[in-house]
């Protein structure tokens, strides 16, 4: 039954940076950068417009990553950030520092002084100087105006472009496109080296050991190799996708630091005390996937997806993609109607589709589902939309784009996805307690093996312990010194 299908608004919505929102171009297209001393073509993003662009993009970052972390750890990152920022050449920028509650190791910056550091990155660093180094690097991107010069070269892209739209289109590489955008996409080799150089300069001026840049880059490089080994390629949107060439940068950062007088201020103990107790890995507040099941302890739901699917946990959606091209997008919606069928036809499809709606019951909750033929990005698919009542006027939604040639068995697996949605059991909640960073003072006689044995992690404990602590395998454990353990 081929239907003339109109995509619901939420499937079509795209969020692009609109060039016209940028204030009038400055007359002089080239400016001399006070940090780098270089002449830059920045006409499309004059310094006076950076704050506005940054503020707009910042709202999108929050929408994508969820609420920023608050409390002592956020205050601490901000205080280190302000100390580093005081030493930059650009005083016209108000620098801001945010902590993203994600296990991914990442950091990035937006024009206008907005910088972001992930919880995963904080657990990897081993001293305040290393945190200051990564802050200095991100500030370097801002002072050197890398985004501005790139934007002026016409590289305009959407932010997290239309997650649902692209996902329902079954676009390959959807995961990679999450979070990729004009400012957050990767920089050039030259820009990375320049930011490292500026970061080392700011580290030194702020009174930290300038070698901390090379140390942290080295940890990042080892972390990326460990991740690649444990998860295979394509771990998604992380530091290595936004800041390539980590290995090569270690050497250059070391050479750069050697130009400055030695300074051994690391504040290692202070730093480790600050991150003691920080969640390591998945957080119950964000939800996470285990195998083909997704759990959200804080919002109290779980469901499965067909085996072999890759699950991406975005802030407002869970996206599952199967190698056969099937995409499932799960999210929530509110409505004035408390009737699931009315919600599907009137709210979701805006009355624009006449496909019959079937009333269903999912683990005691009322629901409604409909399916119709669609053509998404040139591919013939079946679109199936299902709404399941969460509470009166609140719905869980599954949107599925299913290639026409999938097997009957696979269709049944998708049906199971719909009917698997339920509240989490007490036992499940207890079993998904988050892991935390614990700082342990090494007892006399400790070895790498004895410390690593205390780690509660999947995979190779010794390797994880070494990378987490920035240690070499043959390095002795010093009694009385603090080390990071995952418990
Ligand atoms: Zn960078």
Ligand 1 centroid–CA 475 distance in Å is 30
Residues 6 or more apart whose CB falls under 8 angstroms from that of 188 comprise none
For CA atoms 298, 304, 310, 314, give the dihedral sign. negative
Ligand 1 centroid–CA 462 distance in Å is 29
- CA-nearest of 253, 43, 6, 268 to 151 is 43
Residue 483: CB atoms within 10 A of its CB come to 22
Ligand 1 centroid–CA 71 distance in Å is 26
Strongest mean pLDDT among 22-26, 149-153, 388-392: 388-392
Average pLDDT over residues 67-89: 95
- Give SS3 for 64: helix
Ligand 1 centroid–CA 220 distance in Å is 12
Q: Which residue is associated with the tokens 């930059």? A: 88
Confidence of residue 373 (pLDDT cuts 50, 70, 90): confident
Ligand 1 centroid–CA 146 distance in Å is 10
155-177 per-position pLDDT tens digit: 323 222 222 233 333 322 222 23
pTM > 0.95: no
Ligand 1 centroid–CA 247 distance in Å is 13
Ligand 1 centroid–CA 188 distance in Å is 9
pLDDT of residue 236: 52
Strongest mean pLDDT among 237-241, 249-253, 379-383: 249-253
Judged by average pLDDT, the poorest of 4-13, 109-118, 132-141, 253-262 is: 4-13
Residues 6 or more apart whose CB falls under 8 angstroms from that of 3 comprise 353, 354, 355, 372, 373, 374
Judged by average pLDDT, the poorest of 185-189, 234-238, 417-421 is: 234-238
Ligand 1 centroid–CA 217 distance in Å is 11
Among left, alpha and beta (phi > 0; psi -120 to 50; other), residue 336 is: alpha
Ligand 1 centroid–CA 187 distance in Å is 6
pLDDT of residue 319: 84
Ligand 1 centroid–CA 57 distance in Å is 18
CATH number of 288-428: 3.40.1000.10
pLDDT of residue 200: 97
Ligand 1 centroid–CA 44 distance in Å is 21
Ligand 1 centroid–CA 167 distance in Å is 28
> Domain limits of the chain?
9-280, 288-428, 434-486
pLDDT of residue 23: 32
CA distance 107 to 99: 9
H helices present in 276-420, as ranges: 340-342, 408-420
- CA-nearest of 96, 12, 95 to 62 is 96
* Distance from the Cα of residue 189 to its chain's centroid: 22
Q: Look over the chain and give the mean of its residue pLDDT values, rounded to a whole number.
A: 81
Ligand 1 centroid–CA 156 distance in Å is 18
pLDDT of residue 70: 95
Instruction: Judge whether 461 and 469 are in contact, CB under 8 Å.
Output: no
Instruction: Judge whether 108 and 117 are in contact, CB under 8 Å.
Output: no
């Amino acid at each position: 039954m081929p239907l003339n299908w109109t995509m619901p608004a939420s499937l079509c919505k795209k969020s692009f940076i609109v060039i016209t929102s940028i204030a009038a171009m400055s007359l002089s297209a080239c400016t001399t950068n006070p940090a780098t001393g270089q002449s830059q073509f920045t006409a499309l993003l004059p310094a006076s417009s950076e704050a506005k662009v940054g503020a707009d993009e910042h709202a999108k970052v929050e929408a994508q990553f969820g609420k920023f972390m608050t409390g002592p750890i956020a205050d601490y990152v901000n205080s280190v950030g302000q100390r580093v920022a005081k030493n930059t050449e650009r005083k016209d920028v108000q620098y801001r520092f945010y902590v993203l509650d994600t296990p991914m190791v990442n950091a990035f910056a937006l024009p206008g002084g907005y910088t972001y550091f992930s919880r995963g990155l904080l657990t990897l660093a081993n001293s305040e100087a290393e945190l200051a180094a990564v802050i200095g690097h991100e500030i370097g991107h801002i002072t050197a105006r890398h985004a501005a010069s790139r934007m002026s070269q016409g590289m305009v892209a959407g932010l997290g472009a239309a997650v649902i739209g692209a996902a329902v289109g079954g676009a390959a590489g959807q995961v990679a496109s999450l979070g990729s955008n004009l400012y957050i996409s990767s920089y050039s080799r030259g820009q990375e080296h320049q930011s490292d150089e500026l970061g080392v300069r700011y580290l030194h001026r702020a009174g930290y050991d300038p070698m901390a840049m090379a140390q942290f880059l080295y940890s990042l490089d080892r972390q990326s190799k460990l991740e690649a080994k444990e998860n295979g390629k394509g771990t998604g949107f992380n530091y290595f996708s936004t800041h390539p060439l980590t290995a090569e940068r270690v050497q250059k950062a070391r050479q750069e630091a050697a130009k400055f007088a030695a300074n051994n201020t690391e504040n290692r103990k202070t730093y480790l005390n600050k991150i003691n107790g920080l969640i390591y890995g998945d957080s119950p507040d964000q939800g996470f996937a285990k195998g083909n099941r997704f759990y959200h302890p804080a919002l109290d739901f779980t469901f499965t997806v067909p085996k072999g699917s890759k699950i991406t946990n975005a802030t407002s959606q869970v996206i599952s993609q199967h190698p056969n091209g099937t995409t499932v997008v799960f999210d929530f919606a509110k409505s004035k109607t408390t009737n699931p069928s009315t919600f599907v036809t009137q709210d979701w499809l805006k009355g624009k589709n006449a496909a019959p709606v079937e009333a269903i019951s999912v683990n005691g909750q009322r629901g409604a589902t409909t399916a119709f033929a669609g053509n998404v990005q040139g591919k013939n698919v079946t679109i199936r939309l299902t709404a399941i009542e969460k509470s009166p006027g609140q719905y869980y939604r599954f949107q599925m784009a299913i290639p026409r040639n999938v097997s009957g068995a696979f269709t049944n697996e998708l049906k199971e996805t719909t009917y698997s949605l339920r509240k989490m059991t007490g036992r499940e909640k207890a079993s998904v307690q988050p892991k935390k960073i614990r700082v342990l003072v090494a007892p006399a006689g400790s070895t790498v093996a004895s410390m690593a044995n205390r780690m509660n992690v999947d995979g190779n404990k010794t390797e994880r312990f070494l990378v987490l602590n920035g240690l070499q395998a043959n390095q002795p454990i010093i009694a009385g010194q603090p080390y990071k353990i995952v418990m």
